[in-house]
Amino acid sequence: MNSQTKKRGRPETLTAETAKQLFDLWQLTAGNIPDEQIAPLCGCTFGQLRGWLERPQVKVDIGSGKEPLRDIRTRAKIAVKMDYLQRIEKSFELAENNGDPSAMFKITSWLLEKQFPEDFGNRQKIDISGQSISKLRIDPEEASAAMRTVAKIKAQMMEGEADNG
């Protein structure tokens, strides 16, 4: 097939502009709005969007080189998570530098609750007879140690991305 021959089938309608709009919406919504609702906001149908996501050979460049749309979506979601983690880390550092153990505890316990809901979530034990309700308590020292561990893991992940990128 030479450059003069037309391809058969539907024309490719994924443009860099549409992909950038999708990236921005995925990043803005942190992936919490389904693609069925995102697609019309970018001027495409859900079927088109699903097709672009399922076909890795469909690549587009939104400023970081040609890549499949599903990789762009993953990158958008990761960017949101990394931004939140960086904000939490900065807040923790500010609280630690200001010597505010109460703020450090709040930030650490919130992070642990969100990152590990099964282990640190706000569980309630309810006795059917209605006589006792107890909440899970988190030791501030253990929470601070866990926060440092999470920061180390995050740093390792970022180093891995730098090595791969």
Range of the domain at 131: 100-164
Question: Is the same domain home to 156 and 121?
Answer: yes
Assess if residue 85 is contained within a domain. no
Domain tally for the chain?
2
Say whether pLDDT at 123 is over 70. no
Q: Which residue has the tokens 């942190």?
A: 30
Higher pLDDT, 85 or 43: 43
pTM above 0.75, yes or no: no
Residue ranges of alpha helices (H) inside the chain are 16-29, 35-41, 46-54, 69-97, 101-115, 117-120, 140-164
Compute the distance between CA of residue 20 and CA of residue 10 in angstroms, rounded to an integer. Answer: 22
Q: What pLDDT shows up at residue 6?
A: 46
